[in-house]
Structures are given as C-alpha cells and as structure tokens.
Amino acid sequence: MGSVLATGAVSADPGRVAAGPLSMSRAALAGWNVSGPDAEGTTAASVKLPGKNWASVVELGITGADGRASEDVARSIVLNAPNTSGYAKNKARVVGLAVTPTNISGVPATRATASIEVQGAPVPADRFHVVVVNTKPQTYFVSAVPFETADRIAQANAAESGLIANR
C-alpha cells in the first residue's frame, strides 16, 4: 500500500474519489480529509480522533499484485497491518481474521475483516476491513477505524458498501 495521507482525488465523477478502476462516494466520508492520488495511485481519507493522537483512515489503491489471488492479497494486507507505520510502534496484533468472497459491481472480490489490537496506543483496537477487487489492475479498499467511534465506523461502512468497480 502507498501513502495514507496526501489533497483531492481525481475522478470522472466529482462526487466520487478513485484509485484506478475502484471508487467510493465522497459524501460517505463527510468531514474527512480526502487526499490523493499519490504517485502510486493511492487515494486516502482520514479524520483525527478528538483529543487523541489517532485517526480513522480509509484508503483505495492499486495492489501491485496482479496475478495473485484476491484472497491471498486481502489476507496479506490484514496480516501485515501491524508492521505499517500507524501500528508498528504500538505492539499491534491481528485478532479474528475472517476472509470471504464477495463482488463489487459484479467484479469478483475478497473481503477480509479483523480487529487490530494495539497496546500503548490511544485506542485499544481498530476495526479493520479490506476488500481486494479483481479489476485490471487489481485494486483494494482498506478501512481502519477505532471501535469507540461508531459514527466513523458507519461512514467507513457506507464508503465500503458504496464501492464501484470498473473492469
């Protein structure tokens, strides 16, 4: 995955933000800072948790793993999350990983869900969702949202359920 923060994603539809052939509704993330795409084609949205040095993050990008099964890529993104910059310094671990087939706009995809428990962080755990879509090129959606922020979880869920994939 590329950057998590960058300043107004390019999309043919101004109501959507996109990374390659995958897009989500801008309105679903009202109040979030939307950025990108960066040099790797990654688009992200984030919103800080009030009073804490932590944020909710939603990201769209190109996997760079064309040819690998979406199931393997989705699982790998979740299992590698504790090693990313947002979690590495907080002794993070993946709990309750579930991987299921799905589709986005009729395009085969895989959803992986888990909790990322973090020791020494301002929050005890994030709800972590990944969707890897077999578009050309293969794309992903990631959301990492603290469990204590039900409103932000609802927004991330709306962004995920509103994903549109173009082959």
pLDDT tens-digit readout, 72-109 = 999 999 999 999 988 988 899 999 999 999 999 999 99
Is 115 in a helix, a strand, or coil?
strand
Q: Give the tens place of pLDDT for each residue, 17-72.
A: 999 999 999 999 999 999 988 888 899 999 999 999 999 999 999 999 989 999 99
pLDDT at 14: 85
Chain-centre distance for alpha carbon 39: 17
Residue 105, φ and ψ in degrees, nearest 5? 55, 35
How many structural domains is the chain composed of? 1
Domain-embedded: residue 97? yes
Q: Which two tokens stand for residue 71?
A: 């199931």
Domain-embedded: residue 67? yes
Q: How confident is the model at residue 119 (pLDDT cuts 50, 70, 90)?
A: very high
The whole domain housing 54 covers: 16-165
pLDDT at 12: 62
Q: How many CB atoms lie within 10 A of CB 95?
A: 11
Domain-embedded: residue 5? no
Domain-embedded: residue 10? no
Q: What DSSP element (H or E) covers 154?
A: helix 150-161
Mean pLDDT of 139-166: 97
Domain-embedded: residue 59? yes
Are 109 and 100 within 8 A, CB to CB?
no
Length reported for the chain: 167
Give the CATH number, domain containing residue 25.
3.40.1000
Domain-embedded: residue 4? no
Q: Is the Cα torsion angle 153, 97, 93, 138 positive or negative in sign?
A: negative
Domain-embedded: residue 87? yes
Q: Which two tokens stand for residue 48?
A: 């800080």
Are 17 and 35 within 8 A, CB to CB?
no
Domain-embedded: residue 25? yes
Q: How confident is the model at residue 8 (pLDDT cuts 50, 70, 90)?
A: very low
